[in-house]
Amino acid sequence: MNVKLTLLDTGYCRQLELFSRKGGRLKNVPFHAIAGLIEHPVHGRFLFDTGYSTRFFEATRAFPYSVYGKLTPVVTEEGQSVRAQLEAQRIAPDSIKGILISHFHADHIGGLRDFPQAQLYCFEQAYAHIRGKTGIAALREGYLPDLMPDDFEERVTFVDRTSPAPLPKAYHPYIEAYDLFGDQSLRLVDLNGHARGQFGVLLRDEVHGEVFLCADAAWSSVAYREHLLPHPFARLIMTDQKAYRENLHKLHQLSRNQSDLRILPTHCEEVWQACKGEFSWRS
């Protein structure tokens, strides 16, 4: 079943390009935080992550969370939040039925509190890894507790409590995914490594065809196409370096095996351009 995907730029942080991939420049570049609006013909509107919101600045005001803001200087405005962008298109925030949380880093959950009616979907292992963490322990995980809704546990569905279904051979080396609605429209793929319990989403856009929203399994399209690992320093902040390497290799293989599949990393400059172009708002 086809869905409609719109990509939303919520702002960016600045960091050295060389941290993101081997051969990158010794130059600060913007890493945009892209969220996705997924419109399902039967089940309604869903979000893939929420990117930044200005709550990031409030959540990083005090130590030790202020360290996060200093290490990754963020640029975002009120009008760039997912909620504000939806309202600008006359889409009521309350019409969002659910939010697919790829993982719990601050640049992916910055807007969660803007959608108090939405059902929340994540992997249980991801939530268990950050649950109850505060201070330095939270900071080490790139997690800001103040961004989390107070009623998170009342609204969450742990997708990985169900059994995954086999994927067609076209998606090898990925062999299984969690079919959210049982209609193969949104299939959640385990991409553990960058963060515990990270997942991506396979979908088919009604205009652009097969798409894989791969979150931070790669930080750029160049990285997965050319199989370029991040700088060793950047790998130190990953939950599971071995799993990260394995998933980057799988993405590289998948991109070679299925050239028609659009693989979209959250922070990629090419994806940001697509966000302004072919995956921007359309009637």
Is the pLDDT at 236 greater than 80? The verdict is: no
Q: Which residue has the higher pLDDT, 23 or 118?
A: 118
Q: How far apart are CA 204 and CA 213, in angstroms?
A: 11
Q: How far apart are CA 54 and CA 31, in angstroms?
A: 17
Q: What is the pLDDT of residue 24?
A: 85
47: left (phi over 0), alpha (psi -120 to 50) or beta: beta
Q: What is the pLDDT of residue 142?
A: 94
Q: What is the pLDDT of residue 234?
A: 75
Banded model confidence at residue 16, pLDDT cuts 50, 70, 90? confident
Banded model confidence at residue 38, pLDDT cuts 50, 70, 90? very high
For 243, the 3-state DSSP assignment is helix
Q: Please state the pTM of the whole predicted model.
A: 0.97
Q: Mean pLDDT across the stretch 37-62?
A: 98
Provide the 8-state DSSP code for 283. -
Q: How far apart are CA 34 and CA 48, in angstroms?
A: 9
Q: Mean pLDDT across the stretch 52-73?
A: 96
Q: How far apart are CA 49 and CA 32, in angstroms?
A: 13
Neighbour count for residue 263 (Cβ, 10 Å): 22
Q: Mean pLDDT across the stretch 76-99?
A: 98
Q: What is the pLDDT of residue 20?
A: 83
Residue 93 preceded by cis peptide, ω within 30: no
Is the pLDDT at 22 greater than 90? The verdict is: no
pLDDT digits (tens, 9 = 90+) for 120-136: 999 999 999 999 999 99
Q: How far apart are CA 200 and CA 205, in angstroms?
A: 15
Q: What is the pLDDT of residue 27?
A: 84
Residue 73 preceded by cis peptide, ω within 30: no
Is the pLDDT at 253 greater than 80? The verdict is: yes
CA distances to 144, 166, 224 from 148, rounded to whole Å, are 8, 33, 31
In a 13 Å sphere around the CA of 102, the CA atoms on its Cβ side amount to 32
Q: How far apart are CA 215 and CA 229, in angstroms?
A: 16
% of the chain with per-residue pLDDT over 90: 90
Banded model confidence at residue 260, pLDDT cuts 50, 70, 90? very high
Return the C-alpha torsion angle 256, 260, 261, 263, nearest 10. 70
Q: How far apart are CA 187 and CA 180, in angstroms?
A: 6
Q: What is the pLDDT of residue 235?
A: 72
Q: What is the pLDDT of residue 283?
A: 76
- Domains delineated in the chain: 4-276 (3.60.15.10)
For 273, the 3-state DSSP assignment is helix
pLDDT digits (tens, 9 = 90+) for 90-125: 999 999 999 999 999 999 999 999 999 999 999 999
Q: Mean pLDDT across the stretch 61-84?
A: 96
CB contact at 8 A, 195 and 105: yes
Is the pLDDT at 19 greater than 90? The verdict is: no
Return the C-alpha torsion angle 130, 200, 231, 127, nearest 10. 0
47 bridge partner residues? 37, 99
